[in-house]
Amino acid sequence: MNTRPDPVTPLTMRDVAERLGVSTMTVSRALRGQRGIGEATRQRVLAEVAALGYRPNKLARGLRTGGPSELIGLVVTNLANPFYSQLAVGVEEVCVRYGARVMLGSTSEDPDVERDVVTDLLERGVDGLVVVPASHDHSHLGAERLRDTPVVLAASPPMDIDVDCVLVDDFGGTRAACRRLIERGHRRIGFLGLPPSLWTGSERFRGYALALEEAGIAVDERYVSRHRGDSTLAREAARAMLALPDHPTALLTANNRNTVGALLALRDRPDDGEPVALAGFDDIELADMLHLPLTVVSYDAAEVGRAAASLLFERQRSTAPLHPRRVTIATTLIDHPVPR
């Protein structure tokens, strides 16, 4: 009598009900703490449930109630990038607070994959999506494809669709960093950046350009390099810039990889010249251990995720249609000193 039912067939509510000689509805009520059931019966049911190790099937529940699946889809380009894993941490944190879980999808920066992933997540009944778009084409996130699943874009504003988004203050952060360099007396500031087709690339360049303009400095094209690529490319660009007779006295880098490239180029440089200052977007681990001072634009990537998830749940809860909203996450300027 102590043997369990066939293990390949998972335990169902009816199994529990039949053992007790009650209806499945009674078990359901007992489990969900609903009223309409006697206390004694409830205890009997809960005891049997515990004894059998029965667990309700949340999928079936959601099917009937038509209620939320308490599932959020998170679509990122590449989880290995610390920015996205931090973002995931933030999304997860808020989801758990609302009793939801995160379903993951990586796109490897491929728009076609992104489309498939989004479709799959929708078919799996997610209540909402947080998407870091792989490209500027957001047509697969339009209303007709999503029905009424809310979406929040992260790190990129929506194009031709009406959805919420969470952005980083790319413009303000870069402007502040550039100002800091200007305050320190630099007039010839080189910029190592991203292609203008990227929102991020365009905004960060704008911050750089405005800070210069505000200081009455003209943008010198010889001091500007905007490329898509890794730190090797950035290193070459920095090296070329520093080889100019009137080379920049400071470099401003638009992201992590450019910063690393610049660091390498600076280190390659003979020590006899004036030191070249460096500031960059994105904080760098162990920046404190480098033997040159580094100013970085830092921000809380997890906060981007938290904000995105919060927008999602707010929209889910509100009955009235909300206008598309845009949240911008602030940046901080950090001066990493040289140790000792």
Specify the residue, 22 or 91, whose C-beta has the smaller distance to DNA: 22
In whole angstroms, how large is the CA radius of gyration of the chain? 27
Interface residues toward its own copies, by CB under 8 A? 7-11, 53, 55-60, 62-63, 66, 69, 71, 74, 78-80, 82, 85-86, 88-89, 92-93, 96, 101-106, 119-125, 144-145, 147-148, 260, 263-264, 267-268, 284-286, 289-291, 302, 339-340
Least Å from the CB of residue 35 to its own copies = 23
284, interface contact from DNA, its own copies, none, CB < 5-8 Å by kind:
its own copies
Rounded Cα distance between 129 and 97, Å, is 17
Token code pair at residue 175: 């402007």
Query: Is the CB of residue 69 less than 8 Å from the CB of residue 125?
Result: yes
206 binds, among DNA, its own copies, none (CB under 5 to 8 A by kind): none
Minimum gap (Å) between residue 84 Cβ and its own copies:
8
Task: Please report how close the Cβ of residue 42 comes to DNA at its closest, in angstroms.
Answer: 7
Provide, rounded to whole angstroms, the least separation between the CB of residue 207 and its own copies. Answer: 25
Which pairing describes strands 294-298 and 332-336: parallel, antiparallel, or unpaired? antiparallel
Q: Which is nearer to its own copies, 11 or 168 (CB)?
A: 11
Q: Which is nearer to DNA, 70 or 303 (CB)?
A: 70
7 binds, among DNA, its own copies, none (CB under 5 to 8 A by kind): its own copies
Residue with smaller CB distance to DNA, 21 or 270: 21
Q: Nearest-CA neighbor of 281 among 201, 226, 221, 340?
A: 201
Q: Which does 8 bind (CB under 5 to 8 A by kind): DNA, its own copies, none?
A: its own copies
Give me the sheet containing 294-298, strands edge to edge.
224-226, 189-193, 250-253, 277-281, 294-298, 332-336
- Total Cβ atoms within 10 A of residue 107: 22
Other beta carbons within 10 angstroms of residue 142's beta carbon come to: 14
Q: Say which residues have a Cβ less than 8 Å from residue 320's Cβ, sequence separation at least 6.
A: none
* Token representation of residue 33: 């703490």
Calculate helix-pair angle for 39-52, 24-32, nearest 10 degrees.
Answer: 90
106 binds, among its own copies, DNA, none (CB under 5 to 8 A by kind): its own copies
Is the separation of the CB atoms in 96 and 102 below 8 Å? Answer: no
**What minimum distance in Å lies between the beta carbon of 76 and its own copies?**
10
- CB-nearer residue toward DNA: 65 or 291: 65
Rounded Cα–Cα distance for residues 143 and 146 (Å) = 5
Q: How many whole angstroms from its chain centre is CA 93?
A: 12
**In the complex, minimum distance from the CB of residue 218 to its own copies, in angstroms, rounded to a whole number:** 33
First-residue to last-residue Cα distance in the chain: 73
- Where along the sequence are the contacts to DNA (CB under 7 A)? 9-10, 12-14, 21-26, 28, 31-32, 34-42, 55-57, 60-61, 63-66
Binds 14: which of its own copies, DNA, none (CB < 5-8 Å by kind) = DNA
* Cβ 6 to DNA shortest distance, Å: 11
